[in-house]
A and B are shown apart, each in its own frame.
Chain A
Amino acid sequence: MPKQVTIFTTNTCGYCQMVKKYLGAKGVGYNEVNLDKEPGRQDEALKLSGALTVPVTVVTKSDDSQEVIVGYNLARLAPAIA
C-alpha cells in the first residue's frame, strides 16, 4: 500500500472520476487537489506531470519515492498502488 496518493482533478473531468472510483474500489485513500477550486496549483500539476491535463496521480511509496501517472492509466496505476 502506498504512503500517500494525491490526485489533481477538475470538476468536469470524467477520467478523474474513474481514478477516484478505482482507488476507492481498491481501498486506497487519497488527497484531492481540485484545480477548479485551486487554480493556483495548476503549475504544480504541470511541473509534476509535464502535461496540461488531468487527472494527474502522484503515488508516494513507502520508501518516499514518487510515481506520477498522467491520465486514467490502469496499466500503470494498478502496480503503483499495489
Chain B
Amino acid sequence: MDQAQNKVYDLLIVGAGPAALTAAIYTTREDISTVLFERGVIGGLAAVTDKIDNYPGFPDGVEGLTLADDLRKQAERFGAVIELGEVTNIVDHGKTKTIITTDGDYTAKAVLIATGSDYKKIGVPGEQTYYARGVHYCATCDGAFYRDKRLAVVGGGNSAVQETIFLTRYATHIDLLVRSKLRASDVLIKELDEYVKNGKVTVHLNTPTEEIVGVDNSVVEVKVNEDGKAGIIKIDGVFIFVGLLPNSQFVTKLVDIDDIGFVKTDENLHTSMKGVFAAGDIRSGATMQIASAAGEGATAALKIREFLEGHES
C-alpha cells in the first residue's frame, strides 16, 4: 500500500461502476496505469439490479451481479487495480492531482469521477424510522426476508417495475404505488401485466405515498392518496424506487455542478478542474442507462488518453 501511494499514476478513477470499469478497460489496454476506488459494490447500481434486459449483447438479459463481475474481470485482466475504500477529496497540484481516501493518498496525472448515483428517498414520515425494518431500497438484498408476505413497491419507472417482478418470487402479493403514470418501458409493462392478470400484483396509478406506518418496529401499512381519495394499504414491507441522486457530495466544492448536484462537463467530458473528467450517471446530462454509462466510460478514456499525451509534452 505504501509503495502504491508513493507512485504517480496516470489515472485514478473514483468509482467502479459500468462507466469506471469500461474506462479502465480502455486505459489499461493502452498501458495507462489505472487504479479505481470503490466504497460500495463493484458494478454500482447495476450489481444490485436483478436482471438487465437492455444492455446490448445479451439476448436473454443478464443478471446484474454477473454483468458487474464480468466487467470487473475484464478490467483486471488488462491490469486495472480496484481498491475498496472511499475518496473524500481531490487536491489539485496543477500537473498532478492527489486523491484523499480512507486508505491513504494517491497521486495521478488525471482523475475520472465516475461515482454514479444512488436511489432517492420519497421523503415521507416513517421512511427513515423503519429503514431496513420494513423500508428498503435494494430488492436483491432484502427481498428474501419477505417470503409469503405482502409488499408495496413505490415508483413507476423501469427500476420499480423490474424489481416488482423480481419480488414476486417471494411475496404473496405486491401493490405497486405509482405517483402518476407508469414510465417503464413497454416490454417491462407487458411483463408486469402477466402478474397483474394472475393477481400477484395490483398497480395503483395516480397514487402518491403519504406515510409509512409501523407498530412495534415493523411496518404494517402505507397511507396513500389514490386518485384524490385517502387510502390505507396493509403490507409487511415497502421497497422504494423513485429515481436517482448523484453521488457528488465530495466534489460539490471542487468542480462545477448543476442545480441537482450532477457534475458539469464539456464535450470532452472534462470538468471545470483541468485534468479531472467525469462520466456515467454522475455527469450532468447523462441518460442514466448502463449502456450509455459504458459508452461514456469509453469516451472518457479516449479523452483522457489525449489529455495525457498533451501532458507529457
Question: A-side interface residues toward B, CB under 8 Å?
Answer: 10, 12-18, 21-22, 25, 35-36, 39, 42, 46, 50-54, 70-72, 74-75
Task: Give the residues in chain A near B65, CB-CB below 8 Å.
Answer: 12, 14, 17
Is B144's CB under 8 angstroms from A22's CB?
no
* CB of A20 to closest CB in B, whole Å: 12
* CB of B219 to closest CB in A, whole Å: 9
Is B141's CB under 8 angstroms from A42's CB?
no
Task: Give the residues in chain B near A71, CB-CB below 8 Å.
Answer: 132
* CB of A5 to closest CB in B, whole Å: 16
* CB-contact partner of A72 in B40, B145, B217, B237, under 8 A: B40
Task: Give the residues in chain B near A21, CB-CB below 8 Å.
Answer: 42, 84
The segment out of B43-51, B195-203, B241-249, B282-290 that lies at the interface is B43-51
Is A52's CB under 8 angstroms from B134's CB?
yes
Is A52's CB under 8 angstroms from B48's CB?
no
Those 9 A-B pairs whose CB atoms lie nearest each other, nearest first:
A51-B132, A14-B47, A12-B140, A52-B145, A14-B41, A14-B48, A13-B141, A10-B144, A53-B132
C-alpha spacing A10/B169, complex, angstroms? 14
Is A70's CB under 8 angstroms from B132's CB?
yes
Is B133's CB under 8 angstroms from A50's CB?
yes
* CB of A31 to closest CB in B, whole Å: 18
Is B102's CB under 8 angstroms from A53's CB?
no
* CB-contact partner of B41 in A53, A54, A70, A72, under 8 A: A72
Interface bracket on B: 20 to 34
Q: Tell me whether B85 is interfacial, beta carbon within 8 Å.
A: yes
* CB-contact partner of B145 in A50, A53, A75, under 8 A: A53
Instruction: Name which of B63, B102, B132, B146 has the most chain A CB atoms within 10 A of its CB.
Output: B132
* CB of A26 to closest CB in B, whole Å: 10
Is A52's CB under 8 angstroms from B102's CB?
no
* CB-contact partner of B132 in A16, A39, A52, A75, under 8 A: A52
Is B140's CB under 8 angstroms from A13's CB?
yes
Q: Can you offer 11 A-B residue contacts whose CB atoms are under 8 A?
A: A12-B50, A12-B144, A13-B138, A14-B47, A17-B47, A17-B65, A18-B84, A42-B145, A51-B132, A53-B132, A54-B142
* CB-contact partner of A14 in B64, B134, B147, under 8 A: B64
C-alpha spacing A20/B272, complex, angstroms? 38
Task: List residues 181-216 of chain B with CB under 8 A from any CB of chain A.
Answer: none
Is B132's CB under 8 angstroms from A14's CB?
no
Is B48's CB under 8 angstroms from A74's CB?
no
B39 nearest in chain A by CB position: A74
B72 nearest in chain A by CB position: A21
With A39-B144, A42-B144 known as contacts, the answer to whether A53 contacts B136 (CB < 8 A) is: yes
B44 nearest in chain A by CB position: A14
B131 nearest in chain A by CB position: A51
Q: Tell me whether B68 is interfacial, beta carbon within 8 Å.
A: yes
C-alpha spacing A46/B147, complex, angstroms? 14
Task: Give the residues in chain B near A50, CB-CB below 8 Å.
Answer: 133, 217
A77 nearest in chain B by CB position: B84
C-alpha spacing A36/B147, complex, angstroms? 10
Task: Give the residues in chain B near A51, CB-CB below 8 Å.
Answer: 132-133
